């Protein structure tokens, strides 16, 4: 999850698609040749329909990697169909409620500020963890001050480690998670059978 959210920065490469309930917001690398987004003055994000997205991809635009940020599922299948028909692959994430303005569409202001600011990945993840767990202040959309996450070194270290572990787990494919759980269950069964067998042996 953290990697995909870091990829959403305005300075990142590739094509990022925010899927809202009624529209798409597409952000592409400014350096992309013929990028129609570059013709929009002072804009790096452009509202689009699925038809606009299809035309964009047919023209060979929309550089890889492609990342989807799902705010609502209304247009998700249409976008997936467009990408699939164009032979494009993508990664996706369901946007957490803590990053949605008023729990709905649009990014909260605190995360928007983080996206706009050039930030090293470690610092980005740390401030992201504070936004996700920052309570009412951030979910209402108030902006964080740059570097505010570093003001508490103990909380910063704890939250960075815990958030990184959670991100590692949630980034695993479902099949891999199932295999891990099955393996753990198998180990538990073997240990239980062995203990039962030993307890059934006659004592000398």
Asked if residue 89 and residue 13 are part of one domain, the reply reads yes
Is pTM, for the whole model, over 0.85? no
Asked if residue 56 and residue 113 are part of one domain, the reply reads no
103 in a structural domain: no
Decide if pLDDT at 6 tops 50. yes
Sorting pLDDT into bands at 50, 70 and 90, what band is 148?
Answer: very low
Sorting pLDDT into bands at 50, 70 and 90, what band is 200?
Answer: low
Residue 63 and residue 32 in contact, taking contact as beta carbons nearer than 8 Å: yes
Q: Give the structural domain span for 196.
A: 179-204
How far is residue 119 CA from its own chain's centroid? 17
Decide if pLDDT at 59 tops 70. yes
In the listed set 46, 72, 95, which residue is the last one of a domain according to the structure?
95
In angstroms, the CA 151 to CA 147 distance is 7
In the listed set 69, 95, 121, which residue is the last one of a domain according to the structure?
95
Decide if pLDDT at 110 tops 50. yes
Asked if residue 81 and residue 5 are part of one domain, the reply reads yes
Sorting pLDDT into bands at 50, 70 and 90, what band is 62?
Answer: confident
Share the mean pLDDT of the chain: 75
Cβ-based neighbour number of residue 6 at 10 Å: 17
Strands 15-19 and 24-28: what pairing? antiparallel
* pLDDT tens digits for range 65-97: 999 999 999 999 999 999 999 999 999 999 999
Nearest Cα residue to 149 out of 122, 178, 123:
123
Asked if residue 30 and residue 119 are part of one domain, the reply reads no
Q: What is the CATH number of the domain that holds 36?
A: 3.30.420
Decide if pLDDT at 46 tops 70. yes
Asked if residue 112 and residue 90 are part of one domain, the reply reads no
102 in a structural domain: no
Tokens of 22: 């009624």
Sorting pLDDT into bands at 50, 70 and 90, what band is 195?
Answer: confident
């Amino acid at each position: 999850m953290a990697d995909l959210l870091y990829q959403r920065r305005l300075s990142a490469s590739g094509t990022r698609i925010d899927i809202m309930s009624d529209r798409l917001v597409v952000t592409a690398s400014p350096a992309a040749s013929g990028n129609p987004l570059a013709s929009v003055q002072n804009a790096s994000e452009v509202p689009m329909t699925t038809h606009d997205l299809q035309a964009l991809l047919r023209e060979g635009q929309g550089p890889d990697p492609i990342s989807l940020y799902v705010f609502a599922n209304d247009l998700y299948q249409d976008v997936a169909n467009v990408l699939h028909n164009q032979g494009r692959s993508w990664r996706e994430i369901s946007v957490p409620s803590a990053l949605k303005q008023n729990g709905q569409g649009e990014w909260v202001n605190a995360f928007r500020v983080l996206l706009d600011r050039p930030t090293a990945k470690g610092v980005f993840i740390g401030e992201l963890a504070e936004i996700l767990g920052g309570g009412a202040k951030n979910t209402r959309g108030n902006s964080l001050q740059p570097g505010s996450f570093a003001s508490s070194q103990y909380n910063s270290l704890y939250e960075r480690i815990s958030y990184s572990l959670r991100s590692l787990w949630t980034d695993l494919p479902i099949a891999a998670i199932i295999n891990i759980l099955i393996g753990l269950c198998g180990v538990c069964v073997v240990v239980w059978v062995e203990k039962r067998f030993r307890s059934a042996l006659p004592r000398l």
